[in-house]
Amino acid sequence: RMINLAELTPYILCSICKGYFIDATTITECLHTFCKSCIVRHFYYSNRCPKCNIVVHQTQPLYNIRLDRQLQDIVYKLVVNLEEKEKKQMHDFYKERGLEVPKPAVPQPVPVSRGRPRKVLGSVFRIPPELDISILLEFIGANEGTGNFKPLEKKFVRVSGEATIGHVEKFLRRKMDLDPACQVDIICGDHLLEHYQTLREIRQAIGESAVQDGLLVLHYGLVVSPLTL
């Protein structure tokens, strides 16, 4: 029998952007699917599934998502001209900026001992090896007079071990729109940290007491420095 597209629409819509799946990408932990760009953008701020709220991964949720090419093929077959429109938009986007239009990735067959070669799809996103330290930034409060500041949306950060506490402070100031008069104190365990200390040095010096579930835990507080007359 003929099936109306409206009957299938709830199953091929991204719950984030409310549009049809583009580069359908599934979370391996709960099997919920979204557009690739939508879920990658969401994981920049959160490590939970936007649909069921399950923790996808404590530090790197992007490790646990996979492209669902079969579902994307189904969407393109069901929605007339969707694939052509998407390809044209991507082509125009790169051409307007003088960039080379990327070629679609083709999964490479992996030889196996028996039967036909099978295609193995890797993770959608790979973390560069130089980003070897994961940190958790926990807010411990602010004294009176610090004024209004924007809460830190992303408290899980992965950076190079060569990054210093000075870099962490700059990150906090930019993300929270802090006033220059506001002093940022960063603490690990019972130690008030100095600007020149690197994250790798701190982890080695303080040891496992500074680590929680593989994360280097840093606490930060905001203080208004007294005016010097």
Query: By the 8 A CB rule, do 20 and 79 touch?
Result: yes
| 219, part of any domain | yes
Q: Can you give the pLDDT at residue 179? A: 82
| 106, part of any domain | no
| 175, part of any domain | yes
Q: Which two tokens stand for residue 209?
A: 């007491």
Q: How confident is the model at residue 175 (pLDDT cuts 50, 70, 90)?
A: confident
Closest C-alpha among 129, 74, 67, 63 to residue 104: 67
Q: Can you give the pLDDT at residue 14? A: 94
| 207, part of any domain | yes
Do 142 and 204 belong to one domain?
Answer: yes
Give the largest Cα separation in the chain, rounded.
84
Do 167 and 93 belong to one domain?
Answer: no
- Of 97, 113, 141, which residue constitutes the final position of a domain? 97
Cα–Cα distance between 203 and 138 in angstroms, integer? 16
Tell me the CATH number at 160.
3.10.20.90
Do 73 and 138 belong to one domain?
Answer: no
Do 86 and 152 belong to one domain?
Answer: no
Do 14 and 90 belong to one domain?
Answer: yes
Do 22 and 65 belong to one domain?
Answer: yes
Do 200 and 136 belong to one domain?
Answer: yes
The separation between CA 8 and the C-alpha centre of its own chain, rounded to angstroms, equals 30
- Asked whether the predicted pLDDT for residue 181 surpasses 60, the reply is yes
Do 85 and 17 belong to one domain?
Answer: yes
pLDDT more than 70, % of the chain: 82
pTM: 0.47
Range scoring the smallest mean pLDDT among 17-21, 50-54, 104-108, 204-208: 104-108
Burial readout 161-178 (b: 16 or more C-beta within 10 A, e: otherwise): bebbbeebbebbeebbeb
| 31, part of any domain | yes
Q: Give the pLDDT confidence of 100-129 residue by residue, as tens digits.
A: 776 655 555 555 555 555 554 454 555 556
Q: Can you give the pLDDT at residue 228? A: 40
| 69, part of any domain | yes
Check residue 55 and give left, alpha or beta (phi > 0: left; psi -120 to 50: alpha): beta
Question: How many domains does the structure of the chain reveal?
Answer: 2
By residue range, what is the domain housing residue 179?
132-224
Do 136 and 93 belong to one domain?
Answer: no
Residues 150-167 have a mean pLDDT of: 83
Do 89 and 16 belong to one domain?
Answer: yes
Q: Can you give the pLDDT at residue 32? A: 94
Tell me the CATH number at 23.
3.30.40.10
